[in-house]
Every structure is written in C-alpha cells, then in structure tokens.
A and B are shown apart, each in its own frame.
Chain A
Amino acid sequence: MTQINRLQGGQINRDRPLKFMFDGKFYQGFEGDTLASALLANNVRLMGRSFKYHRPRGPLTAGSEEPNAIVELRGGARREPNTRATTAELYDGLVAHSQNRWPSLAFDAMAINDRFSNFLTAGFYYKTFMWPKAFWEKLYEPIIRRAAGLGALSGREDPDVYDKGFRHCDLLIIGAGPAGLMAALTAGRAGADVILADEDFRMGGRLNAETFEISGQSGADWAASAVAELSSLPNVRLMPRTTIIGAFDHGIYGAVERISDHLHMPDADKPRQILWRITTRQTILCAGATERPIAFDNNDRPGVMLASALRTYANRFAATPAKRIAIFTNNDDGHRTARDLQACGVQIAAVVDTRPDAALSTDYQVLRGAQVIDTKGRLGLTFAEVKLADGSERTLECGALGVSGGWNPNVHLTCHQRGRPAWQDDIAAFVPGGILPMGMRVAGAATGALSTHQALVTGKEAARKALGLKGRAPKVADAEDMPVNMTPFWYVKGTTRGWLDQQNDVTVKDVKLSHQEGFRSVEHLKRYTTLGMATDQGKTSNMGGLAIMAELAGKSIPETGTTIFRPPYTPVPIGTFGGRMRGTEFHPTRLTPSHNWAKEQGAVFVEVGNWLRAQWFPRPGETHWRQSVDREVRQTRASVGVCDCTTLGKIDVQGTDAARFLNFVYANGMAKLPVGKTRYGLMLREDGIVMDDGTAARLEEDHFVVTTTTANAGKVYQHMEFVRQCLMPDADVQLISTTEAWAQYAVAGPNSRKLLEKIVDADHDISNDAFPFMACANITVCGGLRARLFRISFSGELAFEIAVPSRYGDSLMRKLMQQGEEFGVTPYGTEALGVMRIEKGHAAGNELNGTTTALNLGLGRMVSTAKDTIGAALSRRPGLNEADALKLVGLKPLDPETKITAGGHLMRADGPVDAAHDQGYVTSAAFSPAMNSMIGLALLKQGDERLGETLRLVSPLTDLTISVEVVSAHFVDPKGERLRA
C-alpha cells in the first residue's frame, strides 16, 4: 500500500524508507516516523480495540499520553505488549500487532460487549460476580480476564538485557521543548553540569510540531541549532529517548533511557533500556502541557483525535489521518490546527467552535456556538453530527475530527512528593502549586505559560535562578506570544456514551453513576469507574472526569481536587527495574577457597545465604545422596574427614577491653578465658531469646577471634558493632570481619591428629597434653605458612579447625586429601555435618529458630547470673521459665524402619491429637549411621524429665503417625570422651 496520506515537508528522512509490518501486512514509512504516524500515512486509522467494550480505536494523540493506539511490538520472546504506537520509533523490519481483539482487529467477536454496555457500566463486576464466592477464582475471573484486557506477555524469557546506573549533575532539565532548551542553553553557557532529558527521540518538543518561527527560523530549525550547540558543550549531557519517571527523595530522579528500542535488536552486550537514578542539586521541569479532549457521544471513533496531535502529524511527520478534517474547539488553538492543516493541503470541513463569539475565518467555515454531538463510521470516522447555535443539526463529512478542549500543564512530577497542584482560572487547568520536590523549578507550558515566548523566558529565568546567575540577562529570541483565549467546555450536555477514559472505557455516564451511588470523592470516583487507572494513567481523561464530578456535586473543580500523582510517569517494563539482577546473577554468590577443588570432586552444592557450600561428594557407584552422606559420616567417625567451614563468620575482636566487651555480649563468662583457649558462647537478644552461638578463641590477652554461624555472620557483626558504638562507647574495642580472609577446615575423626601432624610444622606440638580440647594457637604449616589451629568439635569426634590465608585454602585442601590418603580421608559436606551434629545433640539453626531460649536448649546454666549481659534479665522473665517449658531431647523410633520428619508434632501415646494437646515438635531429623535408624532432635514440654517415655509423632502434612521414644539428645559419645581423646 502506498502512503496515500503522506503530506509534503515534515522532519522525516525520505531518503531512508523503512519497511514494517502491522497485523501481518507490510507497509512503508520513513526514518523519523513513529509507528502511528507511518500507519496514518498509510491510511490506517484503526490500531486497537478498547479494554472493555472492544470498540475500534485509533490514535488520540501523538505522544506518550496515548490511551488508544496500544500495540504489541516485536515478536517471539521479544514481544512487548501495551506499547504506544504514538511513541514507538519506526525502524526497518518493525513488527507490531494490535491487541485485545479476536479474531482480527477489523472483526472483533468480543465487540459484542459493546451491545451489552448497559450491563457493563462501572461497578458491574463488583455487583454481579459476588455470588457464589467460590466461583470468583475459578470461573468469573478467568472469563473476565479473557474478555477484557490488554496485551499478552510472550511467556518466554526476555532475551534482552537491561542496565541500571547512576548519574549526577548540578542541574537536571526535564523536557527539551522551548523552555527546556532555553534553560539548558542558559545553564550550559554558564558552565553548569547539566543533564537535559527528553522522552522523544528528537529534541524540541512542540517546536517540532508547530509552524511558527523563532527569530526568523522555523521552530524545528531553532531547536536543532540549540541541540547542536548543547552537544558541543562538554558540560552538558543530552539524554534523548529518556523519560524521567519519578521525582524521589533528596533530589533523586528515576529515568528510563531507551537504548535499543528503535533498533531491530540490541547490539551485542548492549541493554535494551537503562534505569538511571539521577542525583541533582537543582531541577527544572519543562514537561509541557497536554491537550485535553471534549466528551460527546461516540467521540472514540478512529479519526477523532486531539487537534494538536493532527498538527504534530502534519507538521512533523507529514502525515494526516484523512484528507478532509473537521475541528471541534473551545479555544483559539483549534483554529491554529485548521490553518496548519489547510496549509498542508488538507480540506477543512468546518471548525465547530463552542464559543458564540469565536473569530471567523476567510479560509474555512467556522460554526460559532456549535457542538459536535455524535459521530458515525463503522471502523473509523465518516461523519460528525453537529448541533448549531440555533438548535438545528448538520452532518459534516470528515475522516478525522480534531478536538481541542484547552491544555493541561504536565504537573505530575511536581506532585510526586505529595504536593498538590493549584487551579488557574484563565486556562481552566491545574498548575504546579504547594511545595515542590527539593530543588525543583518549573518552566514553560508546565507552569501554564502556554506561548513560545513565555516558554523561552521562563526557561531562561528558571536556569538563572537555579544557578544563582547575576547580572543582566540576555534577551530571548522573538517568538509567538498569543494569549490563551478559551472558554471551559468539558462535555456536551445530554451525552451518555461520551468517552472520558478511552483506554479503560469510562464514559460520562459512568461518572454520573459513580456520583449517584455515592462514590463522590475523586479517589472513590477513580476506584469505582477505573478512570485514570489504565497504562496512560488518565493523562487525557482525568480532568474531564473531575470537571463532570464537580458539576454534579455542585463544587468547583479545585474543590473537587485531583487524585494523587505517582511514579512512574509512563509505564516501565519490569525487566528495566530488574536490570542485570536476574537468573544466576540475581544476587552475588560467595565461593569458598576450595570451591574449584570441590567442583572437581563432583560436589553437589547448596546455597546457604549467598554461599555455595558442598552438600556431599558423590563417589562412583553411589546413586542416592544418602549413600554418599552415610559413607562420609561413617568414614569420618571411623578415621578422618575434612569439611570446608570457611563460611562460618569470623570476627576479629581486639582492644584492652575486648574481654569485657565479649563478657557483655555473650551470656556465659568470657572475661576469664585464658589465652590459648576457646570457649563455646551463647549470644542472646535483648528479649532473652537466643540470637546465635559460636566460639570465642583468645589468641592474645587483647585479641579474640569470634566465630558465628554461617547464616548469622552479618547479623552478629552488626549487633556487636551496635554494642560497641552505642552500649559501650567507653570501651577500647575494635572489630573487623575476617570471614573471607581465612580458609578454614574442620578436620574430624580419630585420625585427625595424625593427619594434622603431617601438615602442622614440627615445632608446634598438637598432642592431647600440649594442645587439649578447646585449645587454640597461632601456628605455621607446610613449612612456614602462618595459620591458626583450634581444637573444637562439631561432630563430637576428636577434631580441629585449621585456618590459613584464603589464597592458600585450595592448596591446603589438596594437601590434606593427599596426606590423608593413608587414613582413607574423606571430604564431607553440609549434610554429613548435619547428621553428625544431630547425633551429637548440638543445637544449630533449626533449634536456634528465633523462639528458643537457653533453657529450651538445655543450656540454661550458661546464662551467667554473676554478671550483666545482654538478654540475661529478660531470659529470666516468668513466661520463658514455665514449669512445662520446652526442652531439647532426642527421639528414636520404636520401629527402626520408620521415618522421623522434622516439623512433626509430638502427642502423648494416647489421648487426643490436636493443637491443645501438643507436647512439642521435631526440630531436626536425619538417618544416623551410628544408630542405624532415623533419629531426631525435638523440643518437648518438660523434656528433660521425660526420657524413656513413648510418644506419638504426627505429621498431618506427610500423613505420618509413628511411635517414638524420648532419649538423650546425645546419641554419640554422651560423655564426650572422643573429643577429648
């Protein structure tokens, strides 16, 4: 199809024809077109269907405020629904589809909804689908969602990437129309660090859409020369294709830069979009104004457009929706459209002006005091019905109707910090008012100054004030300065199906219904009718709805007020908010120094916090994880095993008051811990609940190394830093994390000493006498490398933890494996670690679950009464010390073949099974190679007095009921002889 609606002129590059496809048909446009302008040039007005009634729709606007021409861009996994054809920059090979129609745009079966519009008014869903309740989720909602909706996601992973970034400047100028360009020139020439952002791909704003001149140049040429000058200034950064989406705290603005949306596909490694956070000292908002429509019956037909949009299409894109056009206006601006279109060779059917005293024209017919009351045309406008001043009616033949109801300044960003706009009578619109976001000034049409001259003047002045420029200001260029001459006119009286919110199908009648049913506050009006809740957020509809509600309520529009403006200004793809944080890079990963070695062994990893820890190390022939874990446990208990425990938190505590500090932080005594000794410690929260456990090793008089659990490392460090700075500011204590500085390995089992003797340098005696249980020391290994050795045991075996600088961790692990061959050494993972600690009855994360006290864990005596310590006082409150308090016990199934499930609850052997008779719950469970059955740890009421009792373990979730015997939590070596060996 040829471009039969293409006009002369425009800012398109006719040397660069572009081929594109819409709904399966190929068309041609030019570089510089949007999808909408190219379609209009090809005589395509029908671009979508409405949300609820599936009425045919074409573009209403030529910008980001567009409610109707919403399409799916691109195909396959790159399909992006709900994008505006009016801002989609045309590129060669662009593919777009209309949405929310079936089977086709021209024939949409769901348009049947329109016939039932009386049933589908505002509030219909709320009232109708109330009963039966169960039907909502399964029946009503799916049907409604299928019938009403916008575009569909591809359902596939987005192959493109998105970035996030940060920029800083002295002055952020939002919008590159005449005010923004003037402000940028003023600030740029003064040497300020400026960012000028504009959502359009061509900077210039309305200057590109109008025909008037600035200093003898066309507006577009003036804008181009201003942009050229700004580009040459090193202190000015131009950000076209960038929408400032929100004004946030402390001078921070969100911005979405569309890097690749105008390309067939992004260049390699380049993002599709970037979400910028721009921190600025000062801001000038030059967001311009949006023309508003007038509501009348069937004002939503394709071809009914904002008058200013017709000018934009004609002047900038050299495109027109039709060759014969009528105008419906309440102000002089409508006449400007008529003149411009006529100059482009478009025939003007008439200008219908609501004002009885409107100026007449010798070039076209003006129907004074008249109103458009209805339209006709199946898939697009063919006739407009006009009621003349004398009450008679007349039909105008036209393919498009330009509607101009005045202009609304784009105040949105001025209100993102909860500011409220003020009413300005002469333009019958809200303008920025109240308290603006920090450092923000407003210039140009966004202030309600609607002439080009005013835009230039206010832009310049705002920049001078923002930068504190003194002295005589240079004169701005000559430009049109037409006064606003308009009479407010919101809707044609008697209208029922006159559309206000075209995307959400909200009509004048719906607003009246909302009022009738008592939903009269603007916020209620919005929720009841969905006015302004579509992807365009009511940029062209809210004011009409407010005006009608105000009239019905007998209030003024400012008394009626506006809804709250919230970011984002225009829709932002979720991917843009996600940035690079997706898939395996969703969060950073922490790897232990022996990670590569473990990978070589085929280790199966598990995420613990951000750490990747080896769970177990499968050997050839092992087909089930239990086989690997049982082997690792047996081998460790029989000889020796090595486990990477680098992930445990390590905090260096130094200072002359280090011991006093730890004595306060830990519930048990630390002050008298001798140098060269390690002690198990319990840390309580202020409320007396256990926070974490770990060890404190005293390497020197004023130097401790504290270990924490892997999961709580950060939290404990934070807690200790809080205590240091806020609770003990007079203490000489210095803290620093050394978790990642040291690679640390648990070497456990009866042969662990023999293995370590081959590693530890000979001048360090690690015999039981010289280096007994709970000893610690700075040592050297492998011929002189500094290391640390701790004789501590989590497994219950004779065990050590050895630490070397992280860079040597991989090498030490290989050495331990090599030197341990003669003992049949095995690496073991977190599963075997867990099994052995359950067998030993050591509490871990499952037991330190944020609800348990030292008393519950059988560690009540560790809470010293001889000193003040965090949490000790509240640990003694009555509620935590009831006679039937939970106590940690072991569980053994009566039938060794049965399974114990963590999370299962304990009930008496006979009696009811319900929450009221709950006796406690299982915290940890594992198969114990030592016991040759499953075992568990549980918190049981008065558990310490119930050893030998038989209970029922029930788990309704896993349909489990078994009999268990209450036993000591220490299944292996209850006397602790092995670890002291």
Chain B
Amino acid sequence: MHDLTAITALGGAEARVDRHGGVTLAENSDLALSSVAARLGQEETCAENLTRLLGAAPPAPGKALLSDPLSAVWMGPDQWMIGADYQAHETLAQTCKDVLKSSASVTEQSDAWVCFDLSGAGIQMVMELLCNIDHRRMEPGDATRTSIHHLGCFVVCGEPDAFVRILGPRASAGSLHHALLTAMHSAL
C-alpha cells in the first residue's frame, strides 16, 4: 500500500458539499473513470465485450447507462466513458483492458475529470443558467456534451429536476464549482 494521500479535485481532503435553496451540490471524488474506444474493425467485438462487462448493451448516442457496479456514457462514435466506484475499482482501466483485450483502446481517466452531482428540486432552474441543454426534456439516462463556463462538460440526467451529474475538466474544478454555486444562488 503506497503512502501518498489523495486530494479531491477542489483541493480538499474531503469532497466538498454545498447546499442552497433545496439543491445540493456535491463534489464526487469517488468516481473511477476509464475511456473505451473501439479499435478500427473491432467495433462489434468491442460492443459485445462491453455488453459482457457492463451487463447491458453500451449506451447509444446521447445516452448513459445508469447501472451498478459499472455505468457508461456515450462519448463519440464507438467511444464510451465507463464509470465505477473509485474505492472498489481504482484500477478500472485495467479491468476494462482485461475484458476488452485488443478490441478497444482503454485509457485511465479517473483524474482527468471532476465530478459534481447536483440534486434536489429546482436543478432545472440552475441548469438553464449554465448550459444550452433543454434540461426540462431530459429523461433518466440522457447524456450530452455541452459547455459550462467555457468548459467542455458531460451532463448526465439521473432523474428529471432531481439529479444531474456533471463531469468537467479536473484542473478547472474551482472555476466550474464557482459557476455551479453561483448559478444555484442566482436561480434559487
């Protein structure tokens, strides 16, 4: 066991939680991420292997697979981001490699992103100040890429007007957090 200590994307020892107006903004530092991109000509095999890994077919464009222990978000043609609990799956990338073998290129992405979970009634009003998504029409499992505060982010709908997950670039976690919190205070 190594002796280095992890910090969260926001730089704290513990994940930060903010509450305002019935909405909770929670930094989620317990998310392991791994990108999967099918090798050329291996698209079908990759999808089959992923189905085996995820227990369900990988999500279609604009969709996420909300499941445990592994979830997935469509990122591009034959590309997905796989997610899992970090504590239990710190070596998620290796797990993916073991299953996908030469059918896909796998890259560890756990620390490339910051994850914020926004929950509570009223998040639609917060989201409309942040990004150009018709959030009122999003259904559970809808996922899309958008720009928030000039940052490329993924937005995954867990439950309409109740739960949304935002993945943004880790180095800009502070700026993204500021934008989310400001929008909460403004909208609610």
A163-B186, A271-B186, A585-B175 are contacts. A654–B6 as well, Cβ < 8 Å? no
Interface residue B108 (Cβ < 8 Å from any Cβ of A): yes
Interface residue A104 (Cβ < 8 Å from any Cβ of B): no
Nearest Cβ on chain A to B8's Cβ, whole angstroms:
7
Nearest Cβ on chain A to B81's Cβ, whole angstroms:
10
Cα A215 to Cα B112 in complex, Å, equals: 64
Q: Which residues of A contact B29 (CB under 8 A)?
A: 807
A654-B105, A734-B105 are contacts. A593–B174 as well, Cβ < 8 Å? no
A588-B176, A732-B40 are contacts. A806–B4 as well, Cβ < 8 Å? no
Tell me which residues from 1 to 19 in chain B have a Cβ below 8 Å from any Cβ of chain A: 1-9, 11
CB atoms of B41 and A732 under 8 A apart = yes
Interface residue A324 (Cβ < 8 Å from any Cβ of B): no
Interface residue B172 (Cβ < 8 Å from any Cβ of A): yes
Q: Output the nearest chain A residue to B93 by Cβ-Cβ distance.
A: A786
Cα A57 to Cα B185 in complex, Å, equals: 42
CB atoms of B131 and A166 under 8 A apart = yes
Q: Which residues of B contact A780 (CB under 8 A)?
A: 2
CB atoms of A807 and B174 under 8 A apart = no
Interface residue A8 (Cβ < 8 Å from any Cβ of B): no
- Residues of A contacting B: mostly: mixed
Q: Output the nearest chain A residue to B133 by Cβ-Cβ distance.
A: A166
Contacting residue for B4 out of A581, A611, A655, A812, CB 8 A = A812
CB atoms of B109 and A168 under 8 A apart = no
Tell me which residues from 780 to 810 in chain A have a Cβ below 8 Å from any Cβ of chain B: 780-786, 804-808, 810
CB atoms of A783 and B132 under 8 A apart = no
CB atoms of B133 and A591 under 8 A apart = no
Contacting residue for A805 out of B39, B110, B128, B130, CB 8 A = B110
CB atoms of B171 and A590 under 8 A apart = yes
CB atoms of A806 and B170 under 8 A apart = yes
Q: Output the nearest chain B residue to A268 by Cβ-Cβ distance.
A: B185
A165-B129, A810-B7 are contacts. A590–B172 as well, Cβ < 8 Å? yes
Q: Output the nearest chain A residue to B175 by Cβ-Cβ distance.
A: A588
Cα A805 to Cα B91 in complex, Å, equals: 11
7 smallest beta-carbon distances between A and B, as pairs: A654-B105, A588-B175, A732-B40, A741-B112, A806-B111, A168-B134, A269-B185
- Count chain B residues whose beta carbon lies closer than 8 angstroms to a beta carbon of A: 53
CB atoms of A732 and B131 under 8 A apart = no
Interface residue A656 (Cβ < 8 Å from any Cβ of B): yes
CB atoms of A741 and B7 under 8 A apart = no
A279-B132, A580-B179 are contacts. A738–B3 as well, Cβ < 8 Å? no
Cα A805 to Cα B33 in complex, Å, equals: 12
Tell me which residues from 174 to 188 in chain B have a Cβ below 8 Å from any Cβ of chain A: 174-176, 178-179, 182-183, 185-186
Cα A274 to Cα B128 in complex, Å, equals: 11
Q: 0/1 per residue, A707-740, Cβ < 8 Å to B?
A: 0000000000000000000000011111011111
Q: 0/1 per residue, A610-642, Cβ < 8 Å to B?
A: 110000000000000000000000000000000
A588-B150, A806-B111 are contacts. A782–B4 as well, Cβ < 8 Å? yes
Nearest Cβ on chain A to B122's Cβ, whole angstroms:
14
Cα A163 to Cα B7 in complex, Å, equals: 32
Q: Output the nearest chain B residue to A743 by Cβ-Cβ distance.
A: B111
Contacting residue for B107 out of A587, A593, A646, A652, CB 8 A = A652
Nearest Cβ on chain B to A194's Cβ, whole angstroms:
13
Cα A690 to Cα B77 in complex, Å, equals: 32
CB atoms of A736 and B137 under 8 A apart = no
Contacting residue for A807 out of B7, B107, B182, B183, CB 8 A = B7
Cα A277 to Cα B130 in complex, Å, equals: 11
Contacting residue for A782 out of B3, B132, B134, B174, CB 8 A = B3
Q: Which residues of A contact B137 (CB under 8 A)?
A: 168
Interface residue B35 (Cβ < 8 Å from any Cβ of A): yes
CB atoms of A741 and B109 under 8 A apart = yes
CB atoms of A740 and B4 under 8 A apart = no
Interface residue B157 (Cβ < 8 Å from any Cβ of A): no
A591-B174, A732-B41, A741-B112 are contacts. A784–B134 as well, Cβ < 8 Å? no
Cα A781 to Cα B1 in complex, Å, equals: 10
Interface residue B56 (Cβ < 8 Å from any Cβ of A): no
Nearest Cβ on chain B to A613's Cβ, whole angstroms:
11
Interface residue B37 (Cβ < 8 Å from any Cβ of A): yes
23 contacts between A and B (CB under 8 A): A163-B186, A167-B128, A269-B182, A269-B185, A277-B132, A581-B150, A585-B175, A588-B175, A589-B172, A590-B169, A591-B11, A657-B40, A732-B39, A734-B37, A734-B104, A734-B105, A736-B35, A741-B110, A783-B1, A806-B112, A807-B8, A807-B110, A807-B111
CB atoms of A592 and B129 under 8 A apart = no
CB atoms of B170 and A740 under 8 A apart = yes
Q: 0/1 per residue, A738-780, Cβ < 8 Å to B?
A: 1111110000000000000000000000000000000000001
Contacting residue for B174 out of A589, A804, A811, CB 8 A = A589
Interface residue B52 (Cβ < 8 Å from any Cβ of A): no
Cα A811 to Cα B3 in complex, Å, equals: 9
CB atoms of B3 and A783 under 8 A apart = yes
Interface residue A815 (Cβ < 8 Å from any Cβ of B): yes
Q: Output the nearest chain B residue to A259 by Cβ-Cβ distance.
A: B186
CB atoms of A731 and B40 under 8 A apart = yes
Interface residue B151 (Cβ < 8 Å from any Cβ of A): yes
Additional 6 contacts, C-beta under 8 A, given A655-B40, A741-B109, A782-B4: A164-B129, A590-B172, A656-B40, A733-B40, A806-B112, A810-B11
Tell me which residues from 919 to 937 in chain A have a Cβ below 8 Å from any Cβ of chain B: none
Interface residue A867 (Cβ < 8 Å from any Cβ of B): no
Q: Which residues of B contact A739 (CB under 8 A)?
A: 112, 171
CB atoms of A783 and B112 under 8 A apart = no
A165-B128, A279-B132, A580-B182 are contacts. A811–B107 as well, Cβ < 8 Å? no
Tell me which residues from 240 to 291 in chain A have a Cβ below 8 Å from any Cβ of chain B: 268-271, 274, 277, 279
Contacting residue for A736 out of B9, B107, B128, CB 8 A = B107
Q: Which residues of A contact B128 (CB under 8 A)?
A: 165-167
Q: Which residues of A contact B186 (CB under 8 A)?
A: 161, 163, 269-271
Interface residue A865 (Cβ < 8 Å from any Cβ of B): no
Cα A737 to Cα B174 in complex, Å, equals: 20
Interface residue A596 (Cβ < 8 Å from any Cβ of B): yes
Q: Output the nearest chain A residue to B125 by Cβ-Cβ distance.
A: A165
Q: Which residues of B contact A811 (CB under 8 A)?
A: 4-7
Nearest Cβ on chain A to B141's Cβ, whole angstroms:
19
CB atoms of A738 and B41 under 8 A apart = no
Cα A785 to Cα B111 in complex, Å, equals: 14
Cα A77 to Cα B183 in complex, Å, equals: 24
Q: Which residues of B contact A742 (CB under 8 A)?
A: 111
Interface residue A376 (Cβ < 8 Å from any Cβ of B): no
Cα A805 to Cα B175 in complex, Å, equals: 21
Q: Which residues of B contact A590 (CB under 8 A)?
A: 169, 171-172
Contacting residue for B6 out of A581, A732, A807, CB 8 A = A807
Q: Which residues of A contact B174 (CB under 8 A)?
A: 589, 591
Q: Which residues of A contact B171 (CB under 8 A)?
A: 590-592, 611, 646, 739-740
Q: Which residues of B contact A271 (CB under 8 A)?
A: 186
A805-B111, A815-B4 are contacts. A610–B134 as well, Cβ < 8 Å? no
Cα A656 to Cα B1 in complex, Å, equals: 34
Nearest Cβ on chain A to B142's Cβ, whole angstroms:
14
Cα A468 to Cα B49 in complex, Å, equals: 46
Cα A807 to Cα B131 in complex, Å, equals: 27
Q: Output the nearest chain B residue to A237 by Cβ-Cβ distance.
A: B136
Nearest Cβ on chain A to B71's Cβ, whole angstroms:
18
Cα A166 to Cα B146 in complex, Å, equals: 12
Nearest Cβ on chain A to B46's Cβ, whole angstroms:
11
Q: Which residues of B contact A732 (CB under 8 A)?
A: 39-41
Q: Output the nearest chain B residue to A252 by Cβ-Cβ distance.
A: B132
Nearest Cβ on chain A to B32's Cβ, whole angstroms:
10
Contacting residue for A279 out of B108, B134, B179, B183, CB 8 A = B134
Interface residue A78 (Cβ < 8 Å from any Cβ of B): no
Nearest Cβ on chain A to B43's Cβ, whole angstroms:
11
Q: 0/1 per residue, B48-69, Cβ < 8 Å to A?
A: 0000000000000000000000
Cα A646 to Cα B112 in complex, Å, equals: 12
Q: Output the nearest chain A residue to B181 by Cβ-Cβ distance.
A: A269
Q: Which residues of A contact B134 (CB under 8 A)?
A: 168, 279
